[in-house]
Amino acid sequence: MDKLPKIALPTIVVIILAFILISKSTIIIGSGEAGVLYKTLGDGVVTDKPPLGEGFHFVAPWNKVYVYEVRRQEIFEKMKVLSSNGLDIQLDASAWYMPNYNDLGNLHQKIGENYLQRILLPTIRSAARSVVGRYTPEQLYSSKRDAIQREIFEETKKIVEEQYIVLDEVLVRDVTLPPTIKDAIERKLKQEQESLEYEFRLVTAEKEAERQRIEAQGKADANRILSASLTDKILQDKGIEATLKLAQSPNAKVVVVGSGDDGLPLILGNN
């Protein structure tokens, strides 16, 4: 009985130490995350192997694991940039990005966990200033927004893909101009629209007039051809046909044949 406490105490200590060791030697990587292994007694950050994926992992207690989110993420940014003529433009943009999964070790070793502030945001700002500086406020406001968005994306991607960052898209959500410039552009666009509508009405009216001229000319040509083809004999035959039809009408009462100045029948009297 006296020996029981002496045996139980070391066992309890061993169990506690084992529990601590196991807890320090395991890590759970969550959904949409990956871990970068750092070997304290080895070569530091592991860059020649894929990162630790989702799930349960055993890790030596003297090593460390840095967990990164590897899902697609979105960052919003408001920037003040200058147009080609030096006017202040406010640009609201967002970017879809994620760390390069297979290069996560290199990203951690060379840039670090705050790669967003160190690389991505400064690059987007620099690209936005460069691109917007090529355009006038009028182009930014109307026709060139898609081109600006595409150019900012291409310039940013070219830089960050060499820094182990995957950039999926840059979206220009809003372009805000100084109120006086915006009003002037809107007035100009309205005047251009009204001018286009006026030109359209003129073209439509001109086409309608041309159609009427062609139609009138066609009728005149048809009448001329018809007049040239009508002889006295044809006219007389047509007159006889018309008189016979009228004679059959209940309104016709007396038909005198051959009594007209031109020899055509006459119809006298009504019911």
Task: Give the right CATH number for 73-177 from 3.40.1260.10, 3.40.50.300, 3.30.479.30, 3.40.50.12160.
Answer: 3.30.479.30
In this prediction, residue 70 carries a pLDDT of 95
Q: Tokens standing for 154?
A: 């291409």
Its pTM surpasses 0.85: no
Mean pLDDT per 10-residue interval, the chain, length 271 residues: 58 63 76 93 90 90 92 93 83 94 94 94 94 84 81 94 94 81 62 66 78 81 70 63 66 52 52 51
Q: CB under 8 Å to 61, separation ≥6 — which residues? A: 21, 24, 25
β-pairing verdict for 33-39 and 44-45 = antiparallel
86 phi-psi bin (left φ>0, alpha ψ -120 to 50, beta other): left
Q: Tokens standing for 16?
A: 């506690």
In the DSSP assignment, the letter for residue 171 is E
In this prediction, residue 144 carries a pLDDT of 77
How far the first Cα of the chain sits from its last, in Å, is 151
Q: What are phi and psi of 45, to 5 degrees?
A: -65, 130
Q: d(Cα 181, Cα 245) in Å, to the nearest integer?
A: 80
In the DSSP assignment, the letter for residue 51 is P
Strand residues in 40-87 grouped as ranges (E): 44-45, 55-58, 64-69, 73-82
Share of the chain residues as helix, strand and coil, in percent rounded to the nearest 5: 50, 25, 25
Can you give the residue ranges of every domain in the chain?
3-69, 73-177, 179-229, 232-268
In this prediction, residue 1 carries a pLDDT of 46
In this prediction, residue 162 carries a pLDDT of 92
Q: CB under 8 Å to 75, separation ≥6 — which residues? A: 94, 95, 97, 116, 120, 121
